[in-house]
Chains A and B, each alone.
Chain A
């Protein structure tokens, strides 16, 4: 695999992880 593409996959994957994880953590929070 082209190494830049591997970097890109990790970058996109980490970004998705950040947003999905934050959504899961804040789901159902009582304010």
Chain B
């Protein structure tokens, strides 16, 4: 910190701190957002129509022909893993508390997704093909020869993924609210409707391919937006100087002055910061929506497995670390406190 305060450039920035105006929701921004979503849905619909030709039986509808390659599977599993938190919540936390927020915001993204692939990809694919299972509850039920286990797994997924989806719909609704300015309940309904439409487009094959497309797209957005904003602001040193000018605590790696209990413990205590990678590891390794991406994968060679890991890394690795670590700070420096 002292280096910032001794820096004449920093003092100059401090003296003339100016912020960009926060864009307001308007008809134009709403229309552009709607056009973008329609384009995304059209791509998904095209994939759905293409996928429709690929299946003739219910099993094929569920898992295709188990021929998905490692590039598509890697991008799809990364897209499944990246939630509303990765693209909305994480940047918001960092915007609010500064660099210390990155520990929980998702800088440990790879600690979650890579073990999931290492430990579950090959075995899920092999077991599901051998046992003829098309869903995870069915896979586990057949593996342990127990309908009771299958039912418990199915009900658990239904219960916890319902709770989980609330966060995703909330993030989607908030995004619509930001770009349209419509009442929040309309935005939530819009999010639910679009999600429903997307899911109805047709079976595992289209979902897998549409997710692969989305994953690649989201990865590119996270990367380009972060790097572009970092260049615009003048690099990491200028970013830190601007943040410190607003509040020196924003450039601290831990915020011990914040309360040590509740959610803020994740930024204010070492135990909270250390807990973050443990949370990412334990949650992502068994996310059903991650693991189910491996059901329709082709049999992997070690070369395919490398491609699978690199594909997931390219989407859920550095782009998300940039999104979670940089973008909130960059927004705070550019737009100031709101």
Q: Are A2 and B240 in contact (CB under 8 A)?
A: yes
* B305 at the binding interface (Cβ < 8 Å): yes
Closest Cβ of chain A to B251, distance in Å, is 5
Give CA–CA (A26, B318) in the complex, Å.
23
Contact B325 A14 (CB under 8 A): no
Minimum CB–CB distance from B265 to chain A (whole Å) comes to 19
Q: How large is the interface on B (under 10, 10 to 19, 20 to 34, 35 or more residues)?
A: 20 to 34
Bound state CA distance, A5 and B309, in angstroms? 26
Which of B102-110, B189-197, B202-210 has 4 or more CB atoms under 8 Å from chain A?
B102-110
- CB neighbours (8 Å) of A25 from chain B are 118, 305
Point out the residue from B99, B252, B309, B325 that lies within 8 Å of A22, measured CB to CB: B309
Residue among B110, B237, B306, B318 having the largest count of chain A Cβ atoms under 10 Å: B110
Is B321 a contact of A11 with CB atoms below 8 Å? yes
Interface residues of A in 9-25 (CB under 8 A from B): 10-11, 14-15, 17-18, 21-22, 25
Contact of A10 among B98, B108, B313 (CB under 8 A): B108
B301 at the interface (CB under 8 A from A): yes
| B317 with A15: CB separation less than 8 A | yes
A residues less than 8 Å from B301 (CB atoms): 29, 31
Q: Within 8 Å CB of B118, what residues of A?
A: 21-22, 25
Q: In the complex, what residue of chain A is closest to B243 when comparing beta carbons?
A: A3
Q: A24 → chain B, closest Cβ, in Å?
A: 8
Bound together, the chains give a CA A31 to CA B304 distance in angstroms of 11
Instruction: Collect the chain A residues with CB atoms within 8 Å of residue B313's CB.
Output: 15, 18
Cα-based distance from A13 to B45 in the complex (angstroms): 39
Give Cα A17–Cα B252 distance, bound, in whole angstroms: 26
| CB pair B110 A14 closer than 8 Å | yes
Would you call A18 and B114 a contact (CB within 8 A)? yes
* Partner among A7, A17, A31 whose Cβ is within 8 Å of the Cβ of B107: A7
Contacts of B306 in A (CB 8 A): 22, 26
The reply to whether B309 and A18 contact each other, CB–CB distance below 8 Å, is yes
Q: Which residues of B contact A7 (CB under 8 A)?
A: 99, 102, 107, 321, 325-326
Whether B111 lies near A17 (C-beta < 8 A) is: yes
Cβ-neighbour of B253 out of A6, A11, A29 (below 8 A): A6
Interface flag for B266 (CB, 8 Å): no
CA distance A25 to B115 in the complex (A): 10
A-B contact pairs, 22 of them (CB 8 A): A3-B253, A6-B253, A7-B102, A7-B326, A10-B108, A11-B321, A11-B325, A14-B111, A14-B321, A15-B313, A15-B318, A17-B110, A17-B111, A18-B110, A18-B317, A21-B114, A22-B114, A22-B118, A22-B305, A26-B302, A26-B305, A26-B306
Which B residues fall within an 8 A CB radius of A? 98-99, 102, 107-111, 114-115, 118, 236-237, 239-240, 251-253, 301-302, 305-306, 309, 313, 317-318, 321, 325-326
